[in-house]
Amino acid sequence: MIEFGHLTHVGLRRELNEDTYYGDSELGLWLVADGMGGHEYGEVASALAREAIVREVRRGAPLEQAIRTADEDIIRASQKRGDALPMGTTVVAARIAGRRFEVAWVGDSRVYLWRDGKLAQLSQDHSYVQELIGRGAISVEQARSHPHRNVVTQALGVTDPQQLNVETMSGDLDAGMQLLLCSDGLTEEVDDARIARALANTDCSAQECVDELVAAALDGGGSDNITVVLVRQG
């Protein structure tokens, strides 16, 4: 039995919410997309990504292929509009079938797995600071306050389709495990230890847990749009 909670919030410093999300237990699909703030029509790009991925998964396409089709749709829409700057979005998506899950992502929206009382980040950010961390140039802690921490190196609609890196991972999702999908509006303000504390509280429903995390991000400053989707395996 799948239980999930979901919430998006514009945050405290933005006028427009460019995030979007989707959740459907019957289809077994959940996703979060974060429209690129530096480009026009980020909210259009994230909505196009959602629509394309849902459509393709319904047709039976694998998750990676659905995301690549979404990329093509966004590029096509951008070309039609003739914009000087392409519109773009990150995406993180999860599919669950029985006791198996698959996740896929592009950009710095994240997916975490809660298992056996521990929180693990499954995705690895496609970002400038993640590359610096990988080279040992900065620490994870330094990355949190780095001036270029919001610069992504991969995004739908922006990255050359030939260079697009849709990363995937799969595994078992046993009873009591949780998958957390979120935009960087959460992780910008709330560290992993605080996320872990929220997920550890199984007295709360999935929705109450999501509400708590969004509230924590707002308390932390709410510098960006915040979107959180939490999926629990019963």
Instruction: Give a three-class secondary structure readout of 168-192.
Output: EEEEECCCCCEEEEECHHHHCCCCH
Cα–Cα distances (Å) from 67 to 90, 106, 184, in that order, read: 10, 9, 19
For the beta sheet containing 100-106, the strands, ordered from the edge strand earlier in sequence to the opposite edge, are 19-24, 29-35, 89-97, 100-106, 167-172
Q: What is the pLDDT of residues 113-159, one digit of tens each?
A: 999 999 999 999 999 999 999 999 999 889 888 988 888 999 999 99
pTM here? Answer: 0.96
pLDDT over threshold 60, residue 98: yes
Q: What is the pLDDT of residues 182-226, one digit of tens each?
A: 999 999 999 999 999 999 998 999 999 999 999 999 999 999 999
The whole-number pLDDT of residue 37 equals 58
Q: Where in the chain are the domains?
A: 2-233
pLDDT over threshold 90, residue 110: yes
Q: What is the pLDDT of residues 19-30, one digit of tens each?
A: 999 999 999 999
pLDDT over threshold 70, residue 38: no
Q: Where are the alpha helices (DSSP H) in the chain?
A: 42-58, 63-81, 128-134, 140-143, 184-187, 192-200, 206-219
> First-to-last CA distance in the chain?
5
Instruction: Give a three-class secondary structure readout of 3-35.
Output: EEEEEEECCCCCCCCCEEEEEECCCCEEEEEEE
Q: How far apart are CA 182 and CA 157, in angstroms?
A: 20
Dihedrals φ, ψ of 176, to 5°?
90, -10
Q: How far apart are CA 74 and CA 9, in angstroms?
A: 24
Q: For domain 2-233, give the CATH number.
A: 3.60.40.10
